């Protein structure tokens, strides 16, 4: 399950509160403190990260760790476009290039200078991804799902070496990109940093 996100209005200001889902969760999942600290570390060098307003590890407040961040007011493109937004083929190309530029900007962040160089497990990111997803497939496979061993074997045999160790978002998609409502080609925010880590930028 995804982390839960709430809009919190205080006076004339709006904020966003993020907390883990209810119920039993895996120990290593939904680490709100980690996500908030990653965002705090990135904000000075990657301005598209929402500003963290507060971090709370006192479970007497909500029964869990949580954080509060600024609310970015803008357009988030999902399956259903806003009714008043029409994009031509050239507009779409321009928007996609602008979004890709922001991903490239993230990969250029100096992980050591931001203190995020120890965020991941180090070298071997590609191998961990192929091995991890192969294991998850085997455990989740049901009888009506075809055999994927040949594909997984091919991926393992053709596995490239890591080309770099950089800060990666790990869930970078339009759902997590906020666009300027007055200029839908301009990216003003990147959301959902819970899976950010150090890894290969081409994965």
Summarised one tens digit per residue, pLDDT across range 139-174 is 988 888 888 899 999 999 999 888 899 999 999 999
Is the dihedral angle over the CA atoms 38, 6, 96, 47 positive or is it negative? negative
Query: What's 4-118+164-199's CATH class?
Result: mainly alpha
**Does residue 5 surpass a pLDDT of 80?**
yes
Q: What is the pTM of this model?
A: 0.88
Q: Where are the domains of the chain?
A: 4-118+164-199, 125-157
As a whole number of angstroms, the distance between CA 14 and CA 197 comes to 29
pLDDT value at position 28? 65
Q: Distance of CA 188 to CAs 3, 85, 183, Å?
A: 22, 17, 10
Among 7-11, 79-83, 155-159, 196-200, the minimum mean pLDDT is found in 79-83
């Amino acid at each position: 399950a995804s982390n839960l996100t709430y809009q919190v209005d205080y006076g004339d200001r709006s904020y966003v509160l993020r907390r883990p889902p209810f119920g039993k969760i895996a120990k290593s999942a939904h680490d709100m403190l980690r996500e908030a600290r990653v965002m705090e570390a990135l904000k000075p060098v990657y301005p598209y990260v929402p500003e963290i307003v507060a971090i709370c590890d006192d479970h007497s407040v909500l029964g869990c760790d949580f954080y509060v961040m600024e609310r970015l007011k803008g357009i988030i493109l999902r399956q259903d476009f806003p009714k008043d937004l029409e994009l031509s083929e050239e507009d779409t190309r321009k928007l996609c290039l602008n979004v890709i530029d922001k991903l490239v900007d993230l990969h250029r962040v100096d992980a050591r200078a931001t203190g995020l160089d120890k965020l991941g497990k180090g070298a071997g990111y590609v191998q961990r991804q192929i091995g991890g997803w192969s294991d998850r497939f085997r455990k989740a496979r049901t009888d009506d799902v075809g055999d994927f061993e040949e594909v997984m074997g091919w991926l393992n045999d053709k596995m490239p070496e890591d080309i770099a160790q950089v800060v990666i978002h790990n869930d970078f998609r339009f759902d997590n990109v906020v666009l300027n409502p007055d200029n839908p080609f301009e990216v003003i925010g990147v959301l959902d940093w819970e899976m950010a880590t150090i890894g290969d930028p081409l994965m």
